Amino acid sequence: MVNAAIERGQSVPVKARRNRRLGTIASATTKDAAGGERLIPEPQEPLFPILSLKGLLARSATKVPSIAEHGDFIELIAGRYAIGIALDLLGVGISDEVLVPACHCTAMIDPIVAKGATPVFYKIDRLLNVDIADASSKVTPKTKAIMASHMFGFPQDGPALRSFADQHGVALIEDCAHAFFGDGMGTYGDFVIGSGRKFFPIAQGGCLVTRHPGLRDVKLQSRGLVANLRDALTLIERSLKFGRLWLLDPPLMLLERLRGKGKPTTEPDDSLNPEPAPEEREIDYFPDEEHIGISGLSKILWRMTSPGWVARKRRENYRKLLDLVGEGPGLRPLFPDLPDTVVPFMAAFWVDRLEEIFPSLEDAALPMQRYGQFLWEGVDETVCPVSVDMSKHLIQLACHQDLTDTELRRIAGAFREIVLREN
Ligand SMILES: Cc1ncc(COP(=O)(O)O)c(C=O)c1O
């Protein structure tokens, strides 16, 4: 599959040295069409929210609905572990099946496989909506749950999913990794999962929200002082790298010099987060990390961040980005309209010749991701032609609250220029 991808001119990450904790990319190279190695530069702008004074002080009185309101709430180190705990509470194990979208990110599938269960893929439509009829046709006596994701923050048909689950007697895992905020988000699922680091300036974080009585018996390991300090350093280094919290740079340098190390090394982090190709990936799910709670520091930062401000900035940035990128031959936004009720995760675009131009986009060091670039083994045209199309044409750009106007202009300008120049 990698070779086929290279033949198609698709760039394939071959050496993503993954940190054991959460798959952080410490360095990444890719193979070009000729098979040579090429370094993928880190993004010039942060892919996810980062710590800044502005963000910490920003306030807004506007009430924004969040998934945390709809049940008991636990915070873990990643959304994938929330899925894992939900599966445990449902008693999902070997020989059970879980329905999942054919267009997915592998972090959604890993927990299912880690439990010994089988993911069964249902079709999606061209706006990434669940094809309920196809999902129904895939229900068997072994089906224990259906997982559905509100992609990029845009809602799935919650009532239809709820009645599907009730009708077939399966649980609904509502994946709100892209939709921490927004009307209706988290109100339909028996289990609701979130991914905190996509919305808050924290080092690691995910959450599980449910009214399942078993949640009370889930015991989480608390994090010690060292973990808190490590999170603090990671966050500060990330912010310094992108020109925030610069007042902390001199004292940190001094500290490092006293320790005889010179300037602190800002480890490349998961701002650059290419999904590994199937051949080189291991399951990115570590059972021993499932029950680790997030650090106290991340908890504080999560709660200090103003939901009203996050929602307003993300919506503004989304609109700005769409305006600046515009449309053109072979380029269009997937969701041109932003309903009042949506707080977007990223701005998704359809690009006709994405596979050919992707190396140029990587060289431009854009804060971007390709959702569903690598589909789970066996997910092909016969399973869902739309998902295969998405894996070749879908790309999304950051629009989070911590991006400045200048950064948004650089991202949109470089993206538009490359896509239209090379299209
Ligand atoms: C739709 C979706 N669900 C779940 C996850 C897992 O979240 P986490 O990375 O916090 O484990 C992701 C990760 O990006 C995702 O995109």
How far does residue 197's CA lie from ligand 1's centre (Å)? Answer: 10
If the chain, 423 residues long, is cut into consecutive pieces of 10 residues, what is the mean pLDDT of each piece?
32 32 43 72 95 91 94 95 98 97 96 97 98 98 98 98 98 98 97 97 95 96 89 89 78 66 44 48 82 93 96 98 96 98 98 96 96 95 98 98 97 97 67
Domain annotation covers residue 21: yes
**Ligand 1 site, residue 76, Cβ cutoff 6 A:** no
Q: Is 107 in the pocket of ligand 1 (CB under 6 A)?
A: yes
Give the count of domains, the chain. 1
Quick check: CB of 47 below 6 Å from ligand 1?
no
Q: Is residue 15 part of a domain?
A: yes
- In this prediction, residue 6 carries a pLDDT of 28
Ligand 1: distance of its center to the CA of 305 in Å? 21
Q: What is the CATH number of the domain that holds 406?
A: 3.90.1150.10
Q: Which atom of ligand 1 lies at the shortest distance from residue 195's CA?
A: 10
pLDDT at residue 12, as a whole number: 32
How many whole angstroms from 343 Cα to the centroid of ligand 1? 16
H, E, C per residue of the chain: CHHHHHHCCCCEEEEEEECCCCCCEEEEEEECCCCCEEECCCCCCCCCCCCCHHHHHCCCCCCCCEHHHCCEEEEECCHHHHHHHHHHHHCCCCCCEEEEECCCCHHHHHHHHHCCCEEEEECECCCCCECHHHHHHCCCCCEEEEEEECHHHCCCCHHHHHHHHHHHCCEEEEECCCCCEECCCCCCCCEEEECHHHCCCCCCCEEEEECCHHHHHCCCECCCHHHHHHHHHHHHHHHHHCCCCHHHHHHHHHHHHHCCCCCCCCCCCCCCCCCCCHHHCCCCCCHHHCCEECCHHHHHHHHHCCHHHHHHHHHHHHHHHHHHHCCECCEEECCCCCCCCECCCEEEEEECCHHHHHHHHHHCCCCEECCCCCCCCCCCCCCCHHHHHHHHHEEEEECCCCCCHHHHHHHHHHHHHHHHHHC
188 belongs to a structural domain: no
Domain assignment present for 151: no
pLDDT value of residue 32: 63
Q: Is residue 376 part of a domain?
A: yes
Residue 405 lies in a domain: yes
Q: Domain for residue 383, yes or no?
A: yes
Q: Which atom of ligand 1 is nearest to the CA of 205?
A: 10
Q: Which domain holds residue 29?
A: 2-58+306-422
d(CA 352, ligand 1 centre) in Å: 26
pLDDT given at position 33? 61
| 237 domain residue, yes or no | no
pTM for this predicted structure? 0.88
Q: What's the confidence (pLDDT) of residue 245? A: 74
According to the model, what pLDDT value does residue 11 have?
34
